[in-house]
Amino acid sequence: MIYQIARTIEDGILAFHGFGSPLVQLALHLAKRTHAPRMVLVAGATYGVNPNPPFLTPTSNDWVMDRGAECHLDIEELFDLAASGRMGRMFLSGLQIDRFGNLNVTRLGRDRLQLKLPGGGGGCNLSCDAVHVTIWTAAHRTTPDAKGRRRFRLVADCDFITSVGHRTTDGKTRKEMGYRGEGPDRIITELGVFDFDDFGQARLTALYPDVEIDTVRENTGFDFPVSESLSVTPMPSAEMVEFIRALDPLKIHEREFKPEERLRSFPLV
Amino acid sequence: MNQAVYTKTDKSCDLPSLIAHVHPGDCLGVGGGLSSREPMAALRELVRQAIGNLRLVGSAHGIDVDLLCGAGLVAESAESYVGFEQDFGMAPNYRRACETGIVAVRDGCCYTLVQQLRAAIAGLPFMPMRSVLGTGFMAMHPEYKTMICPYTGEELLLVPALKPDVAIIHAQFGDAQGNLHIEGPPVTDILFAKASKKVIATVEQILPTEQITEKGVTIPYFYITAMSEVPYGAHPTACYPFYAYDRRHTKEYHRLASEGDEAFQAYLQTYIYGCDSQAQYLETIGGMDSLERLASWQQGAEVWQALYA
């Protein structure tokens, strides 16, 4: 998954990872080390530029994550960069993700607050302003409860819109809303990869080698189109995997996955 | 109302006097961010003095906001994030207080907060911005307005100036008149200091002005209302280079907070109500052994890493 996220990062852009996202932190460092050496890597929470942390910590506003940074942005500069169109890519997730890439990290329950989620930080602003957005979740697969009901991560509708995708709840496009960024272009999950069609709807474009299309269907709360060129996700090299393991000796990123997902293994390139 | 400038030459005072600047019902901007440089000793004193009905504003926070919620002092939260990230997940007291309706949920977004503080700093009634339209935050914040830009014809979002009643900041160094030197990410501290009506600060060390000038002044003295020297004043969050994040203590905090109100009352009793002073608190968290362990990060990556295991 880290490799799939890394593959969405173009060389030569300014990319920013938020906090609470170890998979993304690792993906950015992997991309910078491989195909995107000229990326301006801005770290979430410290706003350090091009840091070289000795190991990943479970907390992102930590000097560990800031070691080796060439300089630092302040909070207003970081968000100004996005608002003025200089932030090439941002990475967002949600406890609910809808077919247009709208995300909810604020609350579950519409009329009555059932579960207060931590909140979206600056994700709301950046979902409008960043040029491109990569959406990710490591919890696409859902387990049915005793009555066979599933609480989907990829849902038909979000209970609250924390950050915006391609269409608002009343069907307006990003252009109609005046957002400067182009919106999400990928949803990376532990089951597969979606891009977005011309209508702004998530479209399945790749599957991991051990996942069937029906598995994605039964774990997704909306019907989705499938790309004509549906492919199998490319696999990272052994060196890349080694790099990730060395950067995350405390295995912080594994905390994002359910125990059964951690048991999956893939042949490396 | 014009913002005050504070020119008293010696602003240092003890922690109880510092916290007496906060009043019930105040809008509070808490400095620091996530697990770093939270003004925890000041917040513990706030809990001891039981100054409640507070309205909190801020960006990405964790144990600081959760503690105030657990002590029942918060009426409203406009924080943009309150949680323990990948480390321990959701903030238990904050969640409970929001879900039972004790805390009114008025979540903000980082850039919206930045723009609101910048309006206050510049003495303007509002700032325009492009994001947020089309999200759930519009219904949550009826004070947000829109206007058609007279230059471009675009629809823009307007957010009103925000002047917190009090900003509470913890810095590494300060001088007696209040010049502060912050090392590492300042988060929203500088904006809070310039936008708020009063700023109260705790520092690890008070140094002569010449030494602060040499290090560089992050926040000039005339923004600062009062200050206290409180070593380990950010514990259990980090205040580098002095000490790292106390994951062990935070884990115990999170465990008790997760168990429910009763278990959390025991935490408050042990570490706050039962400790009259910061010195007594430091003894309770394990004294010199704990403090040396947290300072050990300087010995190298391996020792540093062990603090997170």
Domain boundary assignment for chain B: 15-107+163-237, 127-160
Largest CA distance in chain A: 54
Q: How many CB atoms lie within 10 A of CB B249?
A: 18
Taking contacts as CB-CB distances below 8 angstroms, the residues of chain B near A116 are 94-95, 98-99, 105
Nearest to A121 among B87, B110, B133 (CB): B110
Residue A141 lies in a domain: yes
Q: Report, as an integer, the average pLDDT of B45-69.
A: 98
User: Domain of A40?
Assistant: 2-262
Nearest to B60 among A121, A160, A172 (CB): A121
The interface predicted TM-score (ipTM) is 0.95
Closest to B192 measured CA to CA, from B16, B61, B24, B91: B61
> How does DSSP classify residue B4?
P
A251 touches chain B (CB under 8 A): no
pLDDT tens track, chain A, 269 positions: 999 999 999 999 999 998 889 999 999 999 999 999 999 999 998 999 999 999 999 999 999 999 999 999 999 999 999 999 999 999 999 999 999 999 999 999 998 999 999 999 999 999 999 999 999 999 999 999 888 888 999 999 999 999 999 999 899 999 999 999 999 999 999 999 999 999 999 999 999 999 999 999 999 999 999 999 999 999 999 999 999 999 999 999 999 999 999 999 998 88
> How does DSSP classify residue A233?
P
Residue B271 has pLDDT above 80, yes or no: yes
Q: Report, as an integer, the average pLDDT of B265-293.
A: 97
Q: Are B195 and B163 in contact (CB under 8 A)?
A: yes
Residue A268 lies in a domain: no
* Closest-CA residue of chain B to A84: B130
Residue B75 has pLDDT above 90, yes or no: yes
User: How close does chain A come to B186, measured CA to CA in Å?
Assistant: 7
Size of interface A-B (CB pairs under 8 A): 178
Q: Which residue do the tokens 């004790």 mark? A: B102
pLDDT tens for residues B136-165? 999 999 999 999 999 999 999 999 999 999
Residue B2 has pLDDT above 80, yes or no: no
pLDDT of residue A24: 97
pLDDT of residue A18: 86
Chosen CATH of B15-107+163-237 out of 3.40.1410.10, 3.40.1080.10, 3.40.47.10, 3.30.930.10: 3.40.1080.10
pLDDT of residue B1: 58
CA distance A48 to B18: 32
Taking contacts as CB-CB distances below 8 angstroms, the residues of chain B near A127 are 131
Question: Considering its fold, how many domains does chain A have in total?
Answer: 1
Q: How far is CA A243 from the centre of its chain?
A: 20
Q: Report, as an integer, the average pLDDT of B289-303.
A: 97
CA distance A160 to B107: 12
pLDDT of residue A148: 86
Phi, psi of B145 (to 5 degrees): -125, 170
Give the count of alpha carbons within 13 A of A41, CB side only. Answer: 25
Nearest to A162 among B114, B135, B191 (CB): B135
A173 touches chain B (CB under 8 A): no
Residue A269 lies in a domain: no
A220 touches chain B (CB under 8 A): no
Q: Report, as an integer, the average pLDDT of B86-106.
A: 97
Give the C-alpha distances (Å, rounded to integers) separating B118 from A62, B9, B124, B187, B191: 26, 28, 8, 14, 7
pLDDT of residue A268: 87
pLDDT of residue B46: 98
